[in-house]
Amino acid sequence: MDGSTFSSPITYRRDTILNIPSEGDTSARLAVTIKELKEAYKIRHDGYLSYGYIAPQEGGLFSDTYDQARNERTVVIYRADIPAATIRICLHDHSGTWPDASRIPAMEIFREEILALEAAAIQEGNPGRVIEITRFARDPAFANDRSLIIAAFRIVAYLRLYFEADIMINAVRPHHMPMYRRLGFKKIAEPRQYPNLTYCACLMAMLPDNYDAALQKIGFPYGISISDPIYSRLVAGDLVTVFASDPDMHMPPISHTQRAQMAY
Number of residues that make up the chain: 264
Provide the CATH number for the domain around residue 250: 3.40.630.30
SS3 label, residue 252 = coil
5 lies in a domain? no
What was the pLDDT predicted at 7?
Answer: 32
Q: Give mean pLDDT, residues 237-254.
A: 62
Beta bridge partners of 24: none
For 16: left if phi > 0, alpha if psi spans -120 to 50, otherwise beta; the answer is alpha
145 lies in a domain? yes
Of 119-123, 157-161, 171-175, 249-253, least confident by mean pLDDT is 249-253
223 lies in a domain? yes
Instruction: Tell me the helix, strand and coil percentages in the chain, rounded to 5.
Output: 40, 20, 40
Q: Give mean pLDDT, residues 159-167.
A: 93
Beta bridge partners of 204: 170, 187
Q: Give mean pLDDT, residues 158-183.
A: 91
Residue by residue, DSSP assigns 145-208 as -THHHHHHHHHHHHHHHHHT-SEEEEEE-GGGHHHHHHTT-EEEEEEEEPTTSSSEEEEEEE-G
Q: What is the distance, to the nearest Å, from the Cα of residue 134 to the centroid of all Cα atoms in its chain?
A: 6
Write out the residue range of the structural domain in which residue 163 sits.
Answer: 14-262
With beta carbons less than 8 A apart as the criterion, state whether 183 and 153 touch: yes
- Structure confidence at residue 230 as a pLDDT band (50, 70, 90): confident
4 lies in a domain? no
Flag whether pLDDT at 84 surpasses 70.
yes
For residue range 94-116, what is the model confidence (pLDDT) as tens digits?
Answer: 888 888 899 999 999 999 999 99
1 lies in a domain? no
What was the pLDDT predicted at 258?
Answer: 42
- Structure confidence at residue 196 as a pLDDT band (50, 70, 90): confident
Alpha-carbon distance of 199 to 205, in angstroms, equals 19
Flag whether pLDDT at 163 surpasses 70.
yes
Which position has the higher pLDDT, 98 or 13? 98
2 lies in a domain? no
- Structure confidence at residue 247 as a pLDDT band (50, 70, 90): very low
33 lies in a domain? yes
Which position has the higher pLDDT, 50 or 183? 50
3 lies in a domain? no
Q: Give mean pLDDT, residues 65-73.
A: 94
Number of independent structural domains in the chain: 1
